[in-house]
Amino acid sequence: MTAPIVQASALARHYIVKGGLLSKPATVKALSGVDFDLQPGKTLAIVGESGCGKSTLARVVTMIEEPTSGNLTINGVDITPSKWAEMRETVQIVFQDPYGSLNPRQRIGQILKEPLIINRPDMSAADREARARELIELVGLRPEHYDRYPHMFSGGQRQRIAIARALMLNPRVLVLDEPVSALDVSIQSQILNLLVELQDRLNLAYLFISHDLSVVKHFADDVIVMYLGRAVEKAPKDQLFAAPRHPYSKALLSTTPRADPGARKERIKLEGELPSPMNIPKGCAFAQRCWLATEECRAAPPELSGGTHQVACLHPLD
């Protein structure tokens, strides 16, 4: 096994939310105690519903935000804010909405050259342009697109531009924050294929954030299921999808609609909604929606344990 390119241990990110005039400020625990290793050429998927902390994790790994506690090691370097500037070249991000993440006033060439202008000031203008043109071709766009504006492109093409921009600095890790959820099915498959191809060619590591389990099942190598800022299950993809062990993972899998009208399966209906992240229950965060919960569950949060297939539950399923 090669050395991991990203290592996270006990990563946490809390936000302080100011209350009203008279109320005390509250703490939102968006992310608490997440560990993972990411190998080059592999894809680690983070799944969960809105508010589970998956985007916060993406922001911490991309060094947009500093973790409140815990360690992040990228390419063997311990990350502190003083190292951000140099290490950001290694980790780049592709955002969900290709309509919002490209500057409408810049031409595609300018958008692509920008990371180089900032990070490689000594590079000549001609070299920058050559690199931008190379990337345009790599992501399957045509050379004449270099001088166009973002509004002239469809959603799928814009996402290609966003991917090209992320690759300008030769990163080793790409954080993909819901890269296909804003796209139509027929376009989605084109972008997923492009990502697979790029991973093979450039040996990229992907941190793939998604709520769409069918995409994750197709695309990922390992999966972490998150619930309210904590990892509740961590396993290789095949094991997780064949036999989820955490009740939440099982419910999530069972409620994902499948494009197969014949396969009537039993759906686990979860009652209620996510508790507020400002007021996380003392014990297992999932206990109040769980059909297996006991008194013990409500007392203390269970830790992630097990070999390759880890689960944070006192009553794991077999």
Among 218, 279, 296, 300, binds other proteins (CB under 8 A): 218
Q: Diameter of the chain by CA atoms?
A: 67
Tell the smallest beta-carbon distance from residue 264 to other proteins (Å).
9
Residue of the chain from 189, 203, 239, 288 that contacts other proteins (CB under 8 A): 189
Which residue is listed with tokens 């936000």? 15
Tell how strand 77-78 and strand 230-236 pair up: unpaired
Among 213, 224, 228, 311, binds other proteins (CB under 8 A): 213
**Is residue 227 near other proteins by the rule CB under 8 A?**
no
Of 10-18, 28-36, 163-171, 211-219: span binding other proteins (CB under 8 A): 211-219
Residue 13 CB: number of other CB atoms within 10 A? 22
| Phi, psi dihedrals of residue 281, rounded to the nearest 5° | -55, 155
Site string for other proteins, 118-157 (x = CB under 8 A): ------------------------------------xxx-
Query: Which residue's CB is nearer to other proteins, number 214 or number 305?
Result: 214
C-alpha atoms less than 13 angstroms from C-alpha of 40 in its C-beta half-sphere: 13
Assess 260 for contact with other proteins (CB under 8 A).
yes
Of 35 and 49, which CB lies nearer to other proteins in the complex structure? 49
Beta strands per DSSP E along the chain? 6-17, 26-38, 43-47, 69-74, 77-78, 91-94, 173-177, 205-210, 222-227, 230-236, 310-311
Applying CB under 8 A, which of residues 104, 262, 295, 308 lies at the interface with other proteins?
Answer: 262
Placement of tokens 């043109």 in the chain: 133
- How far is CA 262 from each of CA 63, 141, 218, 259, rounded to the nearest angstrom? 46, 40, 21, 9
Applying CB under 8 A, among 6, 72, 167, 215 the residue interacting with other proteins is 215
- Site membership for other proteins, residue 20 (CB under 8 A): no
For other proteins, give the closer residue by CB, 132 or 177.
Answer: 177
State how far the Cα of 317 lies from the Cα of 216, in Å rounded to an integer: 21
Nearer to other proteins, 78 or 184 (CB): 184
**Angle 125-138/155-167 helices, nearest 10 degrees?**
130
Q: Which of 23, 50, 82, 308 binds other proteins (CB under 8 A)?
A: 50
Q: Which two tokens stand for residue 127?
A: 């070299």
- Of positions 103, 255, 294, 305, contacts other proteins by CB under 8 A: 255
Total count of residues recorded for the chain: 318
For residue 25, the minimal CB distance to other proteins (Å) is 20
Does residue 250 touch other proteins according to CB under 8 A? no
Tell which one of 134, 147, 238, 258 touches other proteins (CB under 8 A).
Answer: 258
Contacting other proteins (CB under 8 A), which of 26, 123, 196, 314?
A: 196
- Which residue's CB is nearer to other proteins, number 260 or number 295? 260
Q: Is 261 in the site for other proteins (CB under 8 A)?
A: yes
Residue 27's alpha-carbon distances to 11, 18, 70, 284, 312, in angstroms, are 16, 9, 17, 18, 23
d(CA 184, CA 232) in angstroms, rounded, equals: 30
Residue ranges binding other proteins (CB under 8 A): 49-50, 154-156, 184-190, 192-193, 196, 211, 213-215, 217-219, 251-252, 255-262, 267, 269-270, 273-274
